[in-house]
Structures are given as C-alpha cells and as structure tokens.
Chain A
Amino acid sequence: MIEVAGVAKTFEAQDGSAVPALADASLAIARDEFVAIVGPSGCGKSTLLRLVAGLMRPTRGAIRIDGEEVTEPRADIGIVFQAPTLLPWATVLSNVLFPLRILGGLDDAAEARAGALLALAGLAGFERKMPRELSGGMQQRAAICRALVHDPRILLMDEPFGALDALTREEMSLELLRIWTERPKTILFVTHSVPEAVLLADRVVVMSARPGRIADIVPVALPRPRSFDQESSAEFQACAQRIRGHIFRRRAA
C-alpha cells in the first residue's frame, strides 16, 4: 500500500553544506500492517515519516501510496506527534474535531463519531474539558483521537509515547493495539524503545545513523492479541536481540 522506493533526503545546513538525513531507503508496507521504525537519534526516522506524510519531498526516489506518488499532504493520513500539541483554547471535543474543521465535513454525525472515538480511548466524560485539565497521557489519547477522526487509512506516529512515563507508556501501547484491532489502519510507528516496537509491530524497521539508512527489517511472529506476558517468550527475545544487535554493532564501529 505504501511504497518507499530508493528514497534519499538531504538537508541544507545553515553554512550551505549538505547534510544527508536519509540515504537510499526502500520499504513496502501492506494494507493494515503495523510497522515500527527503531533507531538511534539522527537516523532519519522522523524524516521518513514526514516524507510519507507529504510534508516534505524526497531529494531522490519516490514514495507511492496505492501506486500514486506522494507530492503533497493527503487527507487519508492521520499524524500523531511526540507532544500532544492540542489547541489550548479549545475543548477536548473541539480538538478532536479540528481536522474536520480544516478539511470540511463538520456536522452532528462527525461530533457523534468524535464522541465514540473519545469513549474508545477511555476519555468519555472529558469532552468539555480543556487540554490543560488533562494529564499528559490523556492529552496524548486525545491527540490520537484527533488523528483518527477523519477516518484516515494511514496513521503516522512520531514517538507518540516518548514524553510519557514508563507505566503510562505500557498502558498506552495496549490501548493503541486495542484501537487498531477495532479500527484497522496501516500504521507507521517511530519509537526509541525496542520492546515497544516488538510488542506492537508486525515488522520492525531498524535504522542506523549518519547517514540514516535501513539496516534490517525484522518480522515479529508473535501471535495477536499481544500482551506484556509475551515479553518473556523466545520469539520476543530473539527479535529484540536482533534489533539491538544492529543498533549497538553500528555504534561500536
């Protein structure tokens, strides 16, 4: 469904020199597949996400969604960032409805849909609250609802749980899986956490830094529904080892 074909992205530094962020990345993602991207900082994983989102154009190569080249942002993509970035002046419900306010299609049915999404994310009863009245985890749940409200087929998540504490983080991972099971989407999920990637994803893309490139793609053969009980299983450990191997080998070299 998503095809990344020989994509490279080079930024221009302030002194005019070229900084390669991503070199020759190729990747094919199937419909409703959950793909995690893991790698050290500066490996270009956020860049890859923004390229897929159409927020920037690749220097070389092409990104295609259903065979159509991505040249600008698309309405069938939802994005979640590391920070919830809710609008401080709007209620939780208005925040979730924000994409529809921009895209059009804001009506009573949409409001009911947003309410159902909030309930699905465990935020029933918080519709009229302001973002500042919510905890960090709850704000991020609202941000996920916001990314889902226009029913996109693709969900791009840039370290969505990176700013949360460890316990909330584990809880949110399971919630995300639950939501994904109820509303299947193609998910591209950037993270720093190896266990998180293995727990969530069908395949884990391991990236290495400077220049960012894809080092390996690790399929995770754990049965679903997933839970933290599987963390001690041989398959989980094997996947985690293989991913860590790539990251630390590169770092030692």
Chain B
Amino acid sequence: MPNASVDISSAAAPPERRPARRVRRLWAGARPVVLPLAVVVVLGLAWEAAVRFFAIPEFLLPAPSLIYSEIMAIRGPIVGHTLATLQTTMLGFGVSLAVSLPLAVAITASPAIANAVYPLLVVTQSVPKVALAPILVVVFGAGETSRVLVTFLVAFFPLVISIATGLLAVPPELVELGRSLKATRLQELFRIRLPYAVPFVFSGLKLSITFSVIGAVVGEFVAAERGLGYQILAATAFFRTPIAFGAVIILSAMGIILFQAVVLIERICFPWSAQEETSRR
C-alpha cells in the first residue's frame, strides 16, 4: 500500500502544526488583557526597586509593597469607604441618566427649548464643580444629597450631549418613512429616534460613569465622613501617604470596572449597537 505512507505523513503533520496555531490564537485573544497587565507589573517592580534603591521616604513615595500592607491592615474600614464612594457614584450616575434622557428629548424636540436650555447647560459646565461643591453643602447640608448633586453636575453633561446628538443623527429618510406612514411624534420617538440613538447613549454612558467616580470624590473632598475621597484627605493630613495611594488605586480600579460593566451591558442587551460603534471607529 504505497498510499499508506502518504496518509500517515499527512495525518502526522497537522498535530505538529495544530498546537502552534492554538497557542497563537490563544495569545491573540489574551493579548489585550495580558499586555497591559504585564506593563503594570513591570512598572510596579521598577517603582518598588526605585523606592528601595534611592531610599525615598514613605511619606513622599511609598513602595507598592508598603501600600499593599498598609491597606490590608485596615481592610475592614477600606471596604466601607469603597462602598460609600460606590453608592455616591451610582446614585449620581443614575440621576444623570434619569435627567439627561428626557432633557435630550426635549432639546431635540423643539428649537425653542434648545435655545432656552443650551446656554444653561454650558454655564453648568463652565463653573468649576470644586468651587460649586462648598456652596451646595451650605444649601443642602453635608449629606449624601450634596455629594450626589456634585456627582450629577460632573457626569450629566456628556450624557445629554451624546443622547441629543444620537436623536438628531437619524437619517432624514427614516424620519420621512415614519411620517409617510402617519407615525405620531411618540411613535417617531420610541420606534425610530430613541432606538437609533442607543449607540450614542452608550458612548455617553461610558463617559458619564467615569466622570461619576470623579464627581463622587469631589463631593467627598468637600463634605464627607466616609468614602475614598474622605480617606485620601484624612490620610494625607496625617502624612499616611501609603493609605492615600491605596485609595487612589482602588478608585481607578473602580472606574475601570464600572466602565467595563457599561461595555458589557451594551454587548449583552444591544449587540447590534456594540457592533455599530466598532464599525464607526
């Protein structure tokens, strides 16, 4: 059987190649996660080495190992602070969405409302929120209300703009199609404009969730007895720099996780929207 040898060699060849291909495919999938993690690890090691080598005092620049041990030493209270900041962030984010959606609909529905509201929106954006926060505390007291309000003021603007842009980005033919079918304004809004705006809404939500974390910290800087922002202030007041650094690291982790959560929600609930955004990029 002269063919047998051919069969064996052709059957033997793929198993040699296949693992290599599988490894390459695995790497292609893991690269977006592994590469940035590797960079962080390398930078962390360089940081650790530099601090030890140059004997930098810990109140100026603590080593990563020290930050870790100091944070772990008070992990109970730190979890409480993290949850407090998370609550303010999510409340501010929720209020932003609840206000932005109807506001954007109103702005795009009538030029008169747009003319009346747009200047006000720009004013709220040009006022530095850090300057506004103490005034809000005087008016609303040093409670969760003022912190959520500061968060909202920081986070809602990009959301309103994105949603309004999305509502206006509908192709005119689609609106004409609706009108030719005698669609009411409500039908036009719910059947055409709002669904069409979904990818834009999510662009806005991604910005807004990141800004919400910033807003919550600004709020806590001014008036709080808990939260990671408060923790940073309290720690630096006593030169406990490692704790402050730890709080900053937890904050950025929180921002990244919340951002990715929004991305995930879009992929699961509106897969077509996630694809639209990728193709637009």
Contacts and interface: CB of A to CB of B under 8 A. Distances in A.
Interface of A: 50, 53-55, 72-73, 75, 77, 79, 81-83, 85, 87-89, 98-99, 101-103, 130, 132, 150
A85 B191 contact: no
Interface of B: 171, 173-174, 176-183, 187, 191-192, 195-196, 198, 270, 272-273, 275-276, 279
Given A102-B187, A102-B191, A85 B174 contact: yes
A11 to B, nearest CB: 15
Given A83-B171, A85-B174, A132 B180 contact: no
Given A101-B191, A130-B272, A132-B272, A85 B173 contact: yes
A189 B179 CA distance: 20
Given A72-B182, A73-B181, A103-B181, 10 more contacts: A81-B176, A81-B177, A83-B173, A88-B196, A89-B196, A89-B198, A89-B270, A89-B272, A102-B182, A132-B275
A192 B24 CA distance: 51
Contacts of B174: 85, 87
Contacts of B196: 87-89
A73 B272 contact: no
B273 A103 contact: no
9 contacts: A55-B179, A72-B182, A73-B182, A81-B173, A85-B171, A85-B173, A89-B196, A89-B273, A102-B187
A73 B171 contact: no
A141 B247 CA distance: 58
Nearest to B182: A73
A77 B180 contact: yes
Nearest to A73: B180
B254 to A, nearest CB: 31
Contacts of B276: 88, 132
Contact of A75 (B177, B182, B198, B279): B182
Contact of B183 (A55, A102, A132): A102
A71 B192 CA distance: 24
Nearest to A150: B181
A99 B273 CA distance: 22
A102 B181 contact: yes
